[in-house]
Amino acid sequence: MDKIIWVLGSKHSNAHKSVSWLSPFPNFSNCDVLVINLPLLEEEILKKRQEDLYREARRYIFDMLMAQKDVIVILSTNQNILSWLPIYPVINKVAPVKMKEDKGKMPWDAYLKTVEECDYYIREFDFRYIEALTDPRSKYHENYYFTETAKNSHYFLDIATELEIKNRAEQVIGACIRFIIRYGDGVLYERGTFVSGFITFLPPPTRVSFEEAIDLVINTLTGAEIAEPSPPWEDQIDLPGLKDINEKIQQKERDKEKIIKEIQELQTEKNNLVKFRRLLWTKGTPLENAVRDAFKFLGFSEIRKIREENLEDWVIEFKHVKQYQYGVFEIKGADERTSLADLTQCNKWVEDYMLEDKKTKGIFVTNQYRLEDPRKSLKKREQFAQNEIRYAETREICILPSHEILYAVVEKLKGNPNITREFIENKIANAKGLCKFSES
176 φ/ψ angles, rounded to the nearest 5 degrees: -115, 115
Q: If pLDDT is split at 50, 70 and 90, which confidence band does 33 have?
A: very high
Q: Can you tell me the mean pLDDT for 338-342?
A: 92
pLDDT category of residue 184 using cuts at 50, 70 and 90: low
Residue 150 is predicted with a pLDDT of 58
In this prediction, residue 188 carries a pLDDT of: 47
Question: Within 13 Å and on the Cβ side, how many CA atoms surround 215?
Answer: 14
> Three-class SS of residue 342?
helix
Closest CA to 35 of 64, 2, 56, 59: 64
> Between these two residues, 162 and 326, which has the higher pLDDT value?
326
The listed range with the strongest mean pLDDT (172-186, 260-274, 353-367) is: 353-367
Q: What tens digit of pLDDT does each residue of 195-206 get?
A: 899 999 999 999
CB atoms within 10 A of CB 318: 19
Instruction: Work out the pLDDT band at 402, boundaries 50, 70, 90.
Output: very high
In degrees and rounded to multiples of 5, residue 22 shows phi and psi of -95, -10
Nearest to 313 by CA among 291, 336, 337, 282: 291
Distance CA 136, CA 134 (A): 6
**Residues 401 and 427: beta-carbon distance below 8 Å:** no
Residues 34 and 61: beta-carbon distance below 8 Å: yes
Identify the pLDDT of residue 226: 46
- Span 55-66, pLDDT tens digits: 999 999 999 999
Query: What domains does the chain contain, in order, with CATH numbers?
Result: 5-222 (no CATH), 277-434 (3.40.91.30)
Range in 99-113, 169-183, 349-363 the model is least confident about: 99-113
Alpha-carbon span 39 to 23, nearest angstrom: 17
What average pLDDT does range 418-422 have in this prediction? 95
